[in-house]
Structure 1
Amino acid sequence: MFKEFKAFIARGNVLDLAVAVIIGAAFGKIVTSLTDDVIMPVIGKIFGGLDFSSYFIVLGKVPEALAGSSDYAALKKAGVPVFGYGAFITSAVNFLILAFIIFMLIRAVTKLMPKADEAPVDAPEPADVALLREIRDELKKKSV
C-alpha cells in the first residue's frame, strides 16, 4: 500500500496540483492585502471616508460591554449575530480582482502558445509519392 501511495504522490499531475494550491493560496493572500489595504481605502476615500467593513446590521442581542459599538470584528468575536454586508462587498471586490488577474494571465499564456488550428508547414510531397498518385488517377480514368 505504501508503494502505491508513493507512486500516486510521485505522479507529475499530483505534484503540479500541490504546487498550484500552495501558490494559489499565497497569491490569494496578496490579492486580499491589495484589496483590504490599497483598493478599499481608496474607494472609501472617494465615497467620503467610508469603511466597508463597518457596514453591518446587528441581528441579535448585543452584550452590555459592547452596547453602541460599531466594531464589526469585536461584535462578531463576541458571538453577536451580525449581517456583515460590508465584509461581503470587500470579498466580492477581492474576487473580481483575483478573477481579472487570472483572466489576464490565461490570456497572456494563450497568446504565447501556438494555436491548435495552425498546422505546421508540411514538407513538400516526395516525387515518388506524387508519381504514384498520378498513376493511380490515370488508372481510375481508364477503368471508368
Structure 2
Amino acid sequence: MGIINEFKAFIARGNVFDLAVGVIIGGAFATITKSLTDDLIMPVVGFLFGGADFSGYFLRLGDIPAGFKGNPASYADLKGAGVAMLGWGEFLTVLVNFIILAFIIFLMVKLVNRILVKQEEEAAPTPEEVTLLREIRDSLKK
C-alpha cells in the first residue's frame, strides 16, 4: 500500500501536471505547425522549385519489385512497396517544420522571460522605498 501512496504523491506534484500539459499542448502545436508547413510554406517552396508537392522529391536507390502496381513516380507508392529511396523532399519538409516550431518556441520563451523580468522589477522595492523602510526601522529601534 505504501508504493501506491508514493505514486499518488509523485503524480500530485505540480511539475508532473505541468509536464503532462506541456506534452499535450506541444502535440497540438506540432499539428498546427505541420499544417502551416505542409499546406502553406512547402507548396510555395515547391512552386518556386518547379513542383507543387515538395515532399514527393526523392532519389530512388533500389529496383522496383516485380509486380509493382503503383505509380513509379510516386514516393508514397514506392515507399509502400519497400523500394530503397532517399526521400530528401520529405526530409526537407520535416526540417522546415522543425525550424518553424523551434523559432516559435524561442519567441514564446523570450516573451515569457520578458514578462517574468518585468514582474520581478515591479515586485522589487525601489531605492526610495528601501530608504523609507530603513528610516522606519531606525525609528522603531529608538
- Aligned pair 1:15/2:24, yes or no? no
Identity %: 53
CA RMSD of aligned residues (A): 2.4
Call closer, same or farther: CA 1:30–1:126 in 2, change over 3 Å: same
Higher helix share: 2
Q: CA deviation at 1:42?
A: 1.4
Conserved in 2, the CA contact under 8 Å of 1:62 and 1:80? yes
Q: CA deviation at 1:128?
A: 6.1
Match of 2:63 among 47, 56, 61: 61
What CA deviation, in whole Å up to 9, does each residue of 1:24-59 have, x standing for no partner? 011101101110111101111223334221211112
Distance 2:98 2:137 in 1: 61
* Aligned pairs, number: 131
Conserved in 1, the CA contact under 8 Å of 2:59 and 2:85? yes
Call closer, same or farther: CA 1:49–1:57 in 2, change over 3 Å: closer
What CA deviation, in whole Å up to 9, does each residue of 1:63-116 have, x standing for no partner? 232587111111111111211111111011101110111111112222222259
Match of 1:47 in 2: 49
Distance 2:137 2:63 in 1: 91
Conserved in 2, the CA contact under 8 Å of 1:58 and 1:82? yes
Match of 2:91 among 71, 88, 93: 88
Paired AA for residue 13 in structure 1: N
Distance 1:20 1:74 in 2: 36
Match of 2:31 in 1: 29
Distance 2:55 2:102 in 1: 22
Paired AA for residue 48 in structure 2: I
Give the TM-score of the pair, scaled to structure 1. 0.79
Mark the runs of 5 or more structure 1 residues left unpaired by the alignment: 133-144
- Aligned pair 1:79/2:82, yes or no? yes
With 2-11 and 52-61 compared, the bigger mean Cα shift is at: 52-61
SS of structure 1 residue aligned to 2:125: coil
